[in-house]
Structure 1
Amino acid sequence: MMPHKFNSSRRHKFEKKRQKVTNWRVYNEGLRQRGDVTIWLSPEVVDKWLAAKRQTPGGQPTYSDMAISVCLTLGMVFKQPLRQTQGLVGSLARLMGLDVPVPNFSTLSRRGAGLSMPEKSKAQRAGPIELVVDSTGLKIFGEGEWLQNKHKTKAKRKSWRKLHLGLDITTGDIVCSDLTKDDVGDPTALPELLDQIDAPVSRFLADGAYDGDPTSDLLVDRFGEAIEIVIPPPITAVLSLDAARNPTPRDKHIAEIRDKGRLAWQVSSGYNHRSRGEAQIGRWKMVIGPKLKSRNFPNQKTEVRIGTNILNKMNGLGRAKYEAVA
């Protein structure tokens, strides 16, 4: 529960902070490169375009996993269906002078299920990860909200999948992502997210859906006792029985909220940085889109992995740096 929504009439109003971009030239060039096809389809991929010969009996695939992932990436970047993606990749290969065959749309659909993505490069980090985890819904089929509201109808079947993202707020990269059915809770999906992280985590920030001993125990077991867990306890939260002698981090959060108020706790604990995760969700829906194109679940999971790679690639091309304007 966000208190400013309920106490806005009694809350002191501050002017909205103004910020300016300090590396506009670099950031502007990064924005331009996002539309450069040579960023997504480079001549170096020709050597790895065809699949290696199989050493076991069975059919011989023509295209490598990298070739399929490049084609699907181009389709997502330029928002094209599979048939148009086939035509797009073919035309780009001809214009760039690349002598490679192009997978047809049925091959892209079939190979997309359970596609092995190229191993991601490990970013050079100055320290451990400060991890922000958040989730949102992605639409897959059914009438849009406008038609449902206009005709007062309800969706006849489940039409959403749940996207889970873990963001490193220091580098701005998505370090873990997953797609689940809409009936899977956030804490239930957390173990598979953490399995994707191969670096130490110093701080974990998430909303109140993750509150509870299972999440805390899991984080301590994975990253050690030193990890700082910042999860807002609910209004009805009570101190543990041993809080007077051996308070847990959750007990300290509850006590500080009672003494200083929830808004002050958000500032002192750094919980406000969780907005970076919400901004990443908004960036996903703006760049990748609020809807999944694939119809079956394995292809949808591949679509999410490709979307994660796209956003990380764009982030690597250049990200904005801000400073406050007095």
Structure 2
Amino acid sequence: MTFIKRYIAPVLILLAAFFLPKLVLPYVNDLEKAKLVIEKVSSIMIILAITWAIIVTIKVAKKKYLTKYDISSENNLRARKLYTQFNVLERVIIFIILIIAIGLSLMLFDSVRKFGVSVFASAGIAGIIVGFAAQKAIATILAGMQIAISQPIRLDDVLVVEGEWGWVEEITLTFVVVRIWDKRRLVLPTTYFIEKPFQNWTRTTSEILGTVFIYTDYNVDFDALREELTRLLESTELWDKQVNVLQVTDSKERSVEIRALMSARNSPQAWDLRVYVREGLIKFIQKNYPESLPKTRVSVMNEFDEKTQIKE
């Protein structure tokens, strides 16, 4: 069915356009009117068939070229780049082709052609009015084209946008769909990614660093925590064996801040690795250093101690 739709249908339309006059004219009384109508219909069918064939050729060429690149692989940076460019540019080209086809079809009629001349005569004023009315729509379309060329985001990129973490699922000329980690969809205009800041975790590579923050008392054994972090990382396939660091990053009046830094092949694995390490380190502290959990120290003096202290 897909084959017929793509290849046979345009050919059938062309054949119908060529044979329509021969099949219909012998049975019509008013040949002049019928000939005029049939010529118009045949011309429109030819334009439709050619337009259809061009669009199908573009889609097939894009699909055939992109089959060489697997967007589902771990190291898919080039694939995501090409998929983004081809998908957006395909929509732009098809839109232009459809506008040209509609224009050519309308120009076959004398009344429309005369109307077009009057429109072009007042194009200056009309252009200004349309420009003001459609400036947001035009800006959105231009932003979509800019995303396709400069690519601040690509398909399957991991973003943190509007406080949400997810993957770029779809990019069109006017909007971008971000698939949130809990399967919700965040739909944003393309201008958002040109005008506002956002985090792109896979801009240059799918590899990513994960961080885990632990807060403990001052008397915790840092060396023991480093050994436990190494043991946890070596016990899971989520770690890519590149980064393994544990540092004290801050000290406050009641606790110290410890940061565990680790690496993974991609963002989903980094998320799972962070959860695994966080849980493992907390269990390790609970079991081996329960006295090192964050605590609040309060010094209480009774009335007798205060009087004794005053006398002294």
TM-score (norm 1): 0.21
Q: Which one scores higher on RCO, CA 8 angstroms, separation ≥ 6?
A: 1
**Which is greater in Rg?**
2
Q: Which has the higher helix share?
A: 2
TM-score (norm 2): 0.22
